[in-house]
Amino acid sequence: MRRVTVRGVIIKNGKLFAQRLNKRDGGVRDYWCTPGGGLDNGESLHDGLVREMVEETGVTPQIGRLLFVQQYADDKREYLEFFFEITNTDDYEQIDLESTSHGVIEIAEHGFIDPGVENVLPKNLQSIDFTQPLSDRVHITNYL
């Protein structure tokens, strides 16, 4: 079974907007990730990204170009993730999780971080120099 997910990449002053998610057991995950999540049946990539980001941040994203695609699998399923540039970066400076439908439940911490020093998934986000313009080329990472 394949799960398709979409994620927003928000960059400001060389930092990446990311979040640490709550675990189901009440703890907090030990890594950061970009906002987003799984598509509903029949949902487009853009519609799914808007829905997920509004649910988690309360902010409607302005979606830019596709930056990269990642494909991987675990014991249960295969994942196909699409990462899009989000261009309204200033709107993510002040997030009120209380005003979201999922933020308080799912997100333990959020903000602009330095991915070079934090544990960020996917790992390739740790090696990108966000102080430089991102390449126009779509990068595809396959871990199958």
Give which of 17, 2, 122 is closest to 70, Cα–Cα: 122
The pair phi, psi for residue 65, each rounded to 5°, is -85, 160
| H or E element in which residue 65 lies | strand 63-73
pTM, entire model: 0.91
Domain boundaries, the chain: 2-129
CB 92 within 8 A of CB 59: yes
- Rounded to whole angstroms, how far apart are CA atoms 54 and 73? 27
Superfamily of domain 2-129, CATH level 4: Nucleoside Triphosphate Pyrophosphohydrolase (3.90.79.10)
Query: Could you tell me what percent of the chain has a pLDDT over 90?
Result: 73
Model confidence pLDDT, tens digit, residues 40-58: 999 999 999 999 999 999 9
